[in-house]
Amino acid sequence: MFDWGVCLKLFLSAAACALAAFAPAVSAQADATKADAAKVPATAAKTWPVEAFAELPAMDSPELSPDGARVAARIAIKGVQQLVIAEVKGGNVRTMGLGENDLNWWRWVNNDWLIVGIGAETNVQGMPWSISRVASIKADGTKASILAKAVAAQNGDDVIWVARDGSPRILLSYQTSIYYDDLGFWPQVSEVDVSTGKMRTVVPSRQYVRSWYADATGAVRMGVGYNDTARSSKLLYRPDGRGSFRVVDKANRRRHESLIVPMLFTADPGKAIASDDRDGTDAFYELDLGTLELGKKLYEAPGFDLGGLEVDAAGTGMAGVRYTADAPAVHWFDPTLAKIQADIDKAVGDRRARIISTSQDLKKLIVHVGAASQPGAYYYYDTDYGAMSLLSKVSETLGVRPQLSPVKTIRYKARDGLEIAAVLTLPYGKEAKDLPLILMPHGGPFARDAETWDWWVQFLANRGYAVIQPNYRGSSGYGTEFAAKGEGQWGLAMQDDLNDAVDWAVKQGIADAKRVCVVGASYGGYAAMRAAQRDGGRYRCAVSYAGVSDLGAMMRYDRRFLNSGASGDWLKEQAPDFAVVSPINYAAGFSTPILLMHGKKDRRVPVGQSREMAEKLKAAGKVDGRDYIYVEQPLADHFFSRQADRLEFLQQLEAFLKAHNPA
């Protein structure tokens, strides 16, 4: 099997520096806020060095142990992200070296043990394969091991339950074979003692069942099956952890049918909580498990889809609901968390406070305070003392409250009358008149932008550009009808929506129509290529990072993954004629300079998508260095996980914009 090379080592220099604020709490909430406010510069906009925006987050996604005594987080150490476990008081810091492996997620099992989701790539019969595993790590750093190491096949990181009684137990769903005709290709569920690695099977593999679900007690009560050949789904259910599963519902994907799958089993064994879009947007409802009928609507955010569900301490109810309106938001059902949120909101003024993690008793919390124009910081809040102390800044160079560019949401009408929301960032200290504009379409495309901190955007605004980020038709978060308007419109009406955003900014007097560039990554990179090829006369230049140039090749690449038939169906719905909307087929038509950049280790969009686009441009007579520039980053992935890759990208971007659309 693959050698994961997981190791733990004591790290007391850079990591200790990054976590220097683990010192005892010394400031009350209001005092911390006043201190931060005092740091806000009163002068005009400062031009920050490019390195400031390229910095990896000093801390990312911190998670408190159940007793609140330790924190696990991704920390940037010398430009590389690593997992760090640290005592909040006492200063002991340990880091987990992952080598070439990906750090996907982490979660506390109890006060002494942490589990970590790890990803890697290896060759199977000459083809690159992604592999996932779970590592268990003792909090004091004395022991680490890979769970199911000897038996897991390709996918081995689906943790469907963690014990809530303090014992080191989890339920792990994992494959034991890579061969589709083996029963072990379909995951089984085992209870695992993370402290010893000992396992016992609780649910055997079942043909076509890919996902298993457990209730708060650890009883596996539901499975979801999918047959990619028939495009059919089925829902298996049992009322407890002992009886036989029976098929209670079926769906035909070819007829766009879907299953209602519980998000959470409640304390009532016959009830669950589920998400449904029957009223146009995803909302949460009660679900009767006996009849599979939706009951009372529990919460909705009118006009917006709901996102994550925060589970209460018992694991049977909703503590809160997260969603994104113009900016990320949360509604707390738990009265303690609602009161804490209200108190912190009052203390931080015009900034936004997000409760990131809590101890089991809700007395100790990690809170992020920041804004769309400020990277902010993580604070440790001890409710017994009413004090909030700095845990870590997000950016060591920019600090907690740099005076950067303001961000707001605007709405404009597309040419067919559809209302579209867009995030607009204006350079600080400049009049919003006749500015050079960067059009930045998001990736996905089933994703969206919102009023959040964005290092790309703030870098560009700091250099004097206005930046507009349209949530074009087909974007997520705005309900079923809006998402459906993107079907069949890749490179067509979706591209028109981008052009219409530029027209809006010009009509408002914000942007100079003769000084516009388009910059994007992933699907946004595709849109940048398409703009350079289809609408080059509108743009001074285009920049694509990890963009898709050939939809047919992308679908052939995706066939290596499970359920590729369904994903292929979806892609064909978005772009019925791949050839017509694939920029690679129109290299001779590119009429504006384009910068193509791609990471060689990109597992989401293969590097060939940009490499071959560059080759086609050269073959069409385009001049390297004038009409196009291609930069391949040998160690980069799809997500800018390395600081060096971020820095090189921003440097190349800045030089390219200076040459073709100077601010």
| Model pLDDT for residues 139-183, shown as the tens digit of each residue | 998 999 999 999 999 899 999 999 999 999 999 999 999 888 899
Cross-strand partners of 10: 94
530: helix, strand or coil: helix
Mean per-residue pLDDT of the chain: 89
Flag whether pLDDT at 34 surpasses 90. no
Check if the beta carbon of residue 382 is closer than 8 Å to that of residue 363.
yes
Check if the beta carbon of residue 329 is closer than 8 Å to that of residue 301.
yes
Kindly state the average pLDDT of the residues 453-459: 97
Query: Which of 38-52, 380-394, 416-430, 464-478 is the least confident region?
Result: 38-52
pLDDT (tens digit per residue) in 3-31 = 333 332 222 223 333 333 333 332 333 33
Residue 568's pLDDT is 61
Residue 40's pLDDT is 40
Kindly state the average pLDDT of the residues 418-426: 98
Kindly state the average pLDDT of the residues 586-603: 95
Q: Among the ranges 18-22, 42-46, 255-259, 396-400, which has the highest mean pLDDT value?
A: 396-400
Which residues have a Cβ under 8 Å from the Cβ of 480 and sit 6 or more positions away? 277, 280, 281
Closest CA to 426 of 397, 463, 376: 463
Torsion of CA 146, 150, 152, 157, to 10 degrees: -10
Domain 407-660 bears CATH identifier 3.40.50.1820: yes
Kindly state the average pLDDT of the residues 316-337: 97
Cross-strand partners of 410: 422
Tell me which residue has tokens 């209730």.
215
Residue 41's pLDDT is 40
Query: Which of 43-52, 177-186, 441-450, 521-530 is the least confident region?
Result: 43-52
Flag whether pLDDT at 223 surpasses 60. yes
334: helix, strand or coil: coil
Q: How many CA atoms lie less than 13 Å away from 364 in the CB half-sphere? A: 18
Closest CA to 439 of 462, 452, 456: 456
Residue 565's pLDDT is 52
Closest CA to 560 of 525, 522, 603: 603
Contacts of 639-647 with CB under 8 Å at 24 or more apart are 641/81, 641/102, 642/56, 642/79, 642/80, 642/81, 643/54, 643/55, 643/56, 643/76, 643/79, 643/80, 644/79, 645/599, 646/53, 646/54, 646/55, 646/56, 646/455, 647/50, 647/51, 647/54
Flag whether pLDDT at 564 surpasses 60. no
Residue 434's pLDDT is 97
Residue 44's pLDDT is 65
Kindly state the average pLDDT of the residues 597-607: 92
DSSP state of 20: G
Kindly state the average pLDDT of the residues 31-47: 50
Flag whether pLDDT at 2 surpasses 80. no
Flag whether pLDDT at 526 surpasses 80. yes
Q: Among the ranges 112-121, 611-620, 636-645, which has the highest mean pLDDT value?
A: 611-620
- Euclidean distance between CA atoms 175 and 524, whole angstroms: 34
